[in-house]
């Protein structure tokens, strides 16, 4: 069978190429209309595709989990990447700091070259194709549910490589889908934060009081300045370089680098402060001497005019305000204390209210799928066989300079190579010979189980067993015996001579109790109350299990509930575990209640759902859990029609 690679960015293209070179049939699925949308904007459109740093220096630039990278980098490093592109006809050049670019200074040339290699290797590229859910059975990947031009398809595969990027620059397609899919497969996703990102910041109080803001300096670039980040009384970062003021704060290479060290402060909730040394090349003494000299020469010149020789004009009022000085004062009259205040401001222009800008402006996502759950040699998940992860999805991030793309190339190559290799001595996985064609749908409350079960029954001709209606049929039996809901012993005894079954007449469900059609009484208030109260008794559930199993022996059925795949029909032909995030389920329930004209509060519903999930999952008798061989469908991002289509595809549509 084939290898599916999800995500046509740097890591995905590399993974697909290496898997195909192993001789496997490979499909690369990308939700955008073209491959490598993010690559086009890398390196300001020039694509700084790697860095020539030696391994140790390279790993020194990786902020999180550098050790995890060692093996992938050893088998496909920066020189291997450069050779791959140059051999394919793309000349490269190396610039300051070991940064490697295509000679053409055109990022799209990198994508074009990779596309050429993918074609030559026979990779099938499916554009406008979005992965919506993974198909996992018995802790093994079986395929992916995709949406293409609004149509849902279940695509079987032995191996699936997730290379779906992080959350940064979502306009390029990296919208965090990969994290959702990985979480659903059981993976841990560490806390994510924007990184290599500008800062929101204001000036300190005296400067603000003078009505001055970074926005007022928007566009002003400072070269050869030093930027210091402090938090919790400690220095977190200090480097020299270039920065720029913007309408929200500051940006520029120095600022992006500093942001990688801000994440820890953000996570700890420590307020951050930035300080810009405008004269890092001078010692304090040298600066003092220079000011004294200039003061002497200044004569009647205003202080602000003199400072024009030290700073860009626009910055002069900012420095004066921070130092508490009047720019109209004559420079020559500056006292020693005033000169000290001026030096302090020049050596440390303070910026407060510092915070990171958001993912839309971040070069990289900090955090991701925990590398503890991934094999560093093969990038295979340690939780799901045949599932691989690569690129920015992983909890790896590095400095600017071509390092992040090399992480994508190296992890992509490792995943592709491993996924493309045939598993030796692996027993042929046969689809189990199952004698029935039942569909069991389990899942938490409000996940849409009964809606889907009914729709699927209609399409397949299977009998939909409404377990709620069966409990109500039993309740009628107890009421007719004159039993009270609290009489557990009486109810237990009455179970013995109750036979409830379901039939369809003209397509309408009928419930029979000991041969009598009791459908008209099912909706009575007292029936509902008795059904709900009696269903908590273990003997009633046991009896119901027997009746449901009897029904399933007679006909192929679709049944939904919380223990259908695990307890009632453990050998069902197809088991589905239908779920959705608590937020989405609460939203659905909320809309349902409003449509019925009932009052509802979204937050209360969400809390109730979460409490119910917990109770269902921890109850003693038949707790809610996913059967090992059930296919998990996360319907958070799917419509009812799409879920139905996915189930039908998994079932194979045959009656
Ligand atoms: C402005 C900018 C400039 C940068 N410049 C550089 C640079 O010069 N050098 C450098 O080393 N790094 C740079 N980076 C970082 C670099 O781009 C990333 O590290 C790299 O692109 C990560 O590659 P990836 O394949 O893991 O993820 P991505 O490139 O984000 O690719 C993921 C792909 O998966 C697709 N996808 C997502 N969800 C689905 C789904 N449900 N179904 C199907 N497809 C899906 C997305 O559409 C996307 O195409 C830059 C980043 C930005 C934002």
Q: How far apart are CA 260 and CA 316, in angstroms?
A: 30
Residue 428: DSSP 8-state: P
Cα 422 to ligand 1 centre (Å): 29
Q: pLDDT at position 528, please?
A: 85
Atom of ligand 1 nearest to the CA of 11: 25
Distances (CA, A) of 500 to 157, 313, 457, 511, 514: 42, 89, 20, 7, 6
What mean pLDDT comes out for the span 361-374?
A: 97
**Which of 103, 71, 60 is closest to 85 using CA atoms?**
103
- The reply to whether ligand 1 has any atom less than 6 angstroms from the CB of 315 is no
Cα 5 to ligand 1 centre (Å): 14
Q: Is 449 in contact with 577 (CB distance < 8 Å)?
A: no
Atom of ligand 1 nearest to the CA of 392: 26
- Pocket probe for ligand 1: among 155, 164, 251, the residue whose CB has the most ligand atoms within 8 Å is 164
DSSP-assigned letters across all residues of 571-587: T-SEEEEEE--HHHHHH
pLDDT at 423 over 80: no
Per CATH, 434-462+556-655 and 467-553 having the same topology is answered yes
Q: How far apart are CA 593 and CA 585, in angstroms?
A: 12
**Which of 153, 155, 138, 651 is closest to 436 using CA atoms?**
651
Half-sphere exposure of 499 (CA within 13 A, CB side): 5
- The reply to whether ligand 1 has any atom less than 6 angstroms from the CB of 102 is no
Whole-model pTM over 0.95: no
Cα 10 to ligand 1 centre (Å): 6
Distances (CA, A) of 101 to 52, 392, 463: 11, 20, 63
Q: How far apart are CA 312 and CA 310, in angstroms?
A: 7
Sort residue 158 into left (φ over 0), alpha (ψ -120 to 50) or beta. alpha
Atom of ligand 1 nearest to the CA of 406: 11
Distances (CA, A) of 470 to 53, 185, 492, 512, 562: 69, 34, 16, 9, 15
- The reply to whether ligand 1 has any atom less than 6 angstroms from the CB of 4 is no
**Which of 2, 139, 18, 6 is closest to 72 using CA atoms?**
18
Sort residue 13 into left (φ over 0), alpha (ψ -120 to 50) or beta. alpha
Q: What is the pLDDT of residues 587-620, one digit of tens each?
A: 988 988 898 888 889 999 888 888 888 887 887 7
H helix or E strand, kind and range, residue 134: strand 129-137
Count other Cβ atoms within 10 Å, centred on residue 497.
9
Q: May I ask the CATH class of domain 434-462+556-655?
A: alpha beta
Q: Is 53 in contact with 399 (CB distance < 8 Å)?
A: no
Degrees, nearest 5: CA angle 323-327-330: 115
Give the pLDDT band of residue 1 (cuts 50, 70, 90): low
- The reply to whether ligand 1 has any atom less than 6 angstroms from the CB of 415 is no
Distances (CA, A) of 265 to 270, 358, 422, 454: 5, 16, 46, 51
pLDDT at 81 over 50: yes
Cα 586 to ligand 1 centre (Å): 32
Cα 155 to ligand 1 centre (Å): 24
Alpha helices by DSSP H, 523-637: 525-534, 538-554, 582-595, 602-618
Distances (CA, A) of 576 to 180, 295, 388, 449, 641: 18, 82, 23, 9, 16
Q: What is the pLDDT of residues 55-67, one digit of tens each?
A: 999 999 999 999 9
Half-sphere exposure of 223 (CA within 13 A, CB side): 0
Tokens 């992006």 locate to 256
DSSP-assigned letters across all residues of 28-70: EE-SSSSS-TTGGGGGGGT---EE---HHHHHHTEEE-HHHHH
Atom of ligand 1 nearest to the CA of 9: 31
- The reply to whether ligand 1 has any atom less than 6 angstroms from the CB of 133 is no
**Which of 428, 585, 409 is closest to 51 using CA atoms?**
409
Q: Is 227 in contact with 237 (CB distance < 8 Å)?
A: yes
Q: How far apart are CA 440 and CA 453, in angstroms?
A: 9
- The reply to whether ligand 1 has any atom less than 6 angstroms from the CB of 174 is yes
- The reply to whether ligand 1 has any atom less than 6 angstroms from the CB of 278 is no
What mean pLDDT comes out for the span 162-177?
A: 96
- The reply to whether ligand 1 has any atom less than 6 angstroms from the CB of 391 is yes
Q: How far apart are CA 650 and CA 646, in angstroms?
A: 6
Cα 383 to ligand 1 centre (Å): 25
Cα 398 to ligand 1 centre (Å): 14
Length of the chain: 655
Q: Is 393 in contact with 12 (CB distance < 8 Å)?
A: no
Count other Cβ atoms within 10 Å, centred on residue 89.
10
Give the pLDDT band of residue 655 (cuts 50, 70, 90): very low
Degrees, nearest 5: CA angle 456-462-467: 80
Cα 57 to ligand 1 centre (Å): 23
Q: How far apart are CA 200 and CA 181, in angstroms?
A: 32
Q: How far apart are CA 64 and CA 397, in angstroms?
A: 6
Q: May I ask the CATH class of domain 3-193+364-420?
A: alpha beta
Cα 646 to ligand 1 centre (Å): 28
Give the pLDDT band of residue 428 (cuts 50, 70, 90): very low
Tokens 């050998």 locate to 571
What mean pLDDT comes out for the span 482-508?
A: 90
Cα 362 to ligand 1 centre (Å): 11
pLDDT at 93 over 60: yes
Structure tokens at 305: 């005019």
- The reply to whether ligand 1 has any atom less than 6 angstroms from the CB of 15 is no
Fold of 467-553: Rossmann fold (3.40.50)
Sorted by sequence, the CB contacts under 8 Å of residue 285 that are 6+ apart come out as none
Distances (CA, A) of 643 to 149, 558, 559, 585, 649: 16, 15, 16, 14, 10
Structure tokens at 472: 């109500």
Q: What is the pLDDT of residues 236-293, one digit of tens each?
A: 999 999 999 999 999 999 999 999 999 999 999 999 999 999 999 999 999 999 999 9
List beta partners, residue 251. Answer: 244
Show me where the domains of the chain are located: 3-193+364-420, 199-357, 434-462+556-655, 467-553
Q: How far apart are CA 49 and CA 42, in angstroms?
A: 8
Max mean pLDDT among 387-396, 536-545, 586-595 falls in 387-396
- Pocket probe for ligand 1: among 107, 165, 178, the residue whose CB has the most ligand atoms within 8 Å is 165
- The reply to whether ligand 1 has any atom less than 6 angstroms from the CB of 177 is yes
Atom of ligand 1 nearest to the CA of 44: 3
Atom of ligand 1 nearest to the CA of 181: 41
As a whole number, the mean pLDDT across the chain is: 92
CA 286 to chain centre: 52
Q: pLDDT at position 245, please?
A: 98
Residue 281: DSSP 8-state: T
Cα 365 to ligand 1 centre (Å): 10
561 or 168, higher pLDDT: 168
**Residue 507 burial (10 A CB sphere; 0-12, 13-18, 19+):** exposed
Structure tokens at 556: 């192929």
Cα 281 to ligand 1 centre (Å): 38
Cα 270 to ligand 1 centre (Å): 30
Q: What separation, in Å, do the N-terminal and C-terminal C-alpha atoms of the chain show? A: 25
Q: pLDDT at position 434, please?
A: 59
Instruction: Write phi, then psi, for 29 (nearest 5 degrees).
Output: -105, 130
- The reply to whether ligand 1 has any atom less than 6 angstroms from the CB of 164 is yes
Percent pLDDT > 90 in the chain is 74
Cα 173 to ligand 1 centre (Å): 8
**Which of 571, 543, 548 is closest to 561 using CA atoms?**
548
CA 236 to chain centre: 28
Give the pLDDT band of residue 424 (cuts 50, 70, 90): very low
Nearest CA to ligand 1 atom 29: 9
Atom of ligand 1 nearest to the CA of 362: 53
Cα 165 to ligand 1 centre (Å): 5
Q: pLDDT at position 433, please?
A: 52
Structure tokens at 208: 């603000």
Q: Is 302 in contact with 328 (CB distance < 8 Å)?
A: yes
Q: pLDDT at position 624, please?
A: 84
Q: pLDDT at position 254, please?
A: 95
Q: Is 352 in contact with 201 (CB distance < 8 Å)?
A: yes
Q: What is the pLDDT of residues 127-155, one digit of tens each?
A: 999 999 999 998 999 999 999 988 999 99
**Which of 555, 575, 563 is closest to 538 using CA atoms?**
563
Q: What is the pLDDT of residues 36-52, one digit of tens each?
A: 999 999 999 999 999 99
What mean pLDDT comes out for the span 529-554?
A: 88
What mean pLDDT comes out for the span 72-95?
A: 95
- The reply to whether ligand 1 has any atom less than 6 angstroms from the CB of 42 is yes
Nearest CA to ligand 1 atom 42: 130
What mean pLDDT comes out for the span 357-366?
A: 97
Half-sphere exposure of 427 (CA within 13 A, CB side): 3
Q: pLDDT at position 414, please?
A: 97
- The reply to whether ligand 1 has any atom less than 6 angstroms from the CB of 402 is yes
- The reply to whether ligand 1 has any atom less than 6 angstroms from the CB of 364 is yes
Cα 111 to ligand 1 centre (Å): 12
């Amino acid at each position: 069978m084939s290898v599916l690679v999800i995500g046509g960015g740097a890591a995905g293209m590399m993974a697909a190429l290496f898997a195909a070179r192993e001789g496997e049939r490979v499909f690369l699925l990308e939700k955008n209309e073209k491959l490598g949308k993010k690559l086009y904007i890398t390196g300001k459109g020039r694509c700084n595709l790697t860095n020539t740093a030696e391994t140790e220096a390279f790993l020194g630039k990786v902020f999180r989990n550098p050790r995890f990278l060692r093996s992938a980098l050893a088998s496909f490093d920066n020189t291997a990447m450069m050779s791959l592109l140059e051999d394919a006809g793309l000349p490269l050049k190396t610039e300051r700091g070991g940064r490697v670019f295509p000679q053409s200074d055109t990022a799209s040339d990198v994508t074009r070259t990779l596309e050429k290699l993918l074609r030559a290797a026979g990779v099938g590229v499916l554009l406008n194709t979005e992965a919506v859910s993974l198909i996992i059975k018995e802790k093994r990947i079986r395929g992916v549910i995709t949406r293409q031009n609004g149509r849902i398809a279940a695509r079987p595969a032995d191996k699936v490589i997730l290379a779906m990027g992080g959350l940064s620059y979502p306009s390029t397609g990296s919208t965090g889908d990969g994290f959702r899919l990985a979480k659903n497969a059981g993976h841990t996703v560490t806390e994510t934060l924007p990184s290599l990102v500008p800062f929101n910041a204001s000036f300190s109080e005296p400067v603000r009081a003078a009505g001055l803001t970074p926005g007022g300096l928007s566009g002003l670039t400072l070269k050869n300045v030093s930027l210091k980040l402090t938090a919790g009384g400690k220095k977190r970062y200090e480097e020299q370089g270039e920065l720029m003021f913007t309408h929200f704060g500051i940006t520029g290479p120095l600022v992006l680098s500093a942001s990688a060290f801000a994440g820890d402060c953000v996570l700890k909730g420590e307020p951050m402060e930035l300080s810009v040394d405008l004269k890092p090349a001078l010692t304090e003494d040298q600066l003092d001497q220079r000011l004294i000299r200039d003061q002497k020469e200044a004569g009647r010149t205003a202080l602000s005019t003199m400072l024009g020789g030290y700073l860009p004009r626009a910055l002069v009022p900012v420095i004066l305000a921070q130092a508490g000085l009047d720019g109209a004062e004559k420079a020559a009259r500056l006292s020693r204390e005033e000169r000290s205040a001026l030096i302090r401001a020049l050596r440390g222009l303070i910026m407060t209210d510092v915070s990171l800008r958001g993912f839309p402006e971040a070069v990289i996502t900090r955090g991701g799928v925990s590398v503890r759950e991934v094999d560093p040699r093969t990038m295979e998940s340690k939780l799901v066989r045949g599932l691989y992860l690569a690129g920015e999805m992983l909890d790896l991030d590095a400095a600017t300079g071509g390092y992040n793309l090399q992480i994508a190339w190296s992890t992509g190559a490792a995943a592709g190579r491993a996924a493309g290799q045939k598993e030796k001595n692996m027993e042929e996985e046969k689809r189990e010979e199952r004698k029935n064609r039942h569909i069991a749908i389990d899942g938490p409350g409000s996940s849409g189980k009964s809606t889907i079960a009914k729709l699927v029954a209609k399409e397949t001709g299977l009998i939909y067993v409404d377990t709620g209606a069966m409990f109500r049929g039993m309740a009628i039996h107890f009421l007719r015996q004159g039993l009270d809901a609290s009489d557990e012993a009486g109810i237990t005894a009455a179970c013995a001579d109750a036979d409830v079954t379901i039939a369809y007449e003209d397509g309408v469900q009928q419930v029979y109790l000991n041969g009598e059609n009791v459908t008209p009484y099912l909706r009575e208030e007292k029936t509902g109350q008795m059904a709900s109260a009696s269903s908590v008794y273990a003997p009633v559930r046991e009896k119901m299990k027997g009746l449901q199993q009897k029904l399933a022996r007679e006909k192929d059925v679709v049944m939904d509930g919380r223990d259908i795949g695990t307890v009632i029909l453990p050998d069902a032909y197809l088991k589905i575990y239908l779920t959705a995030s608590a937020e989405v389920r609460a939203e659905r329930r909320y809309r349902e209640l409003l449509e019925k004209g009932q009052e509802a509060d979204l937050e209360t519903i969400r809390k109730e759902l979460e409490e119910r999930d917990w109770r269902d999952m921890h109850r003693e008798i038949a707790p809610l859990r996913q059967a090992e061989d059930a296919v998990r469908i996360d319907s958070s991002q799917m419509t009812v029609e799409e879920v139905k289509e996915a189930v039908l595809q998994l079932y194979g549509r045959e009656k």
